[in-house]
Structure 1
Amino acid sequence: MENTQAAEDARKGAIEYRVSYLDPHSGHVMEEQFGNLAAAERFANAQLKDADAWAIVDAVAVETAVSGSTPERSQQLVA
């Protein structure tokens, strides 16, 4: 089954989850990438330590066959 899933992901383009968040120590917006939504959401929630904190989880279709194309995105605001 794993080979079937890998083949389907390669055909459709794989999905990765990117968490953009405000780093309170530096004041910069940072980004981390994850292979599954649950891990991305746990990381995003861990970044919400004060009232000014925020994090966004983006689901991004990773294009493997065509370079230079724009990936599709969907966003979920966590904070």
Structure 2
Amino acid sequence: MPSRVLARHRKVIATPYIGGLTPQATEHQALETVSQVEAMLRGAIPEVAVNAARASRVGRFAGGGNTATPSSVSTSL
């Protein structure tokens, strides 16, 4: 677990650890991660978010000058 200072840093986005997964599981996890990031870029809470009711920083990703759009995010591996 990261320290609270690291976990709360405004430039930190947690991503899943995928070491030891099969290629199929790795692909699924990668596509799921892209889907979750895409949701956050729209300002939405990802469907599988843990503790979604307590989310407080999701809106900071929406708009925010990001150049990535859902159509510009590649989901092929």
Check whether TM > 0.5.
no
Structure possessing the higher radius of gyration over alpha carbons: 1
| TM-score, L = length of structure 1 | 0.30
Please state which structure has a larger fraction of its residues in helix.
2
The two structures have a TM-score, normalised by structure 2, of 0.30
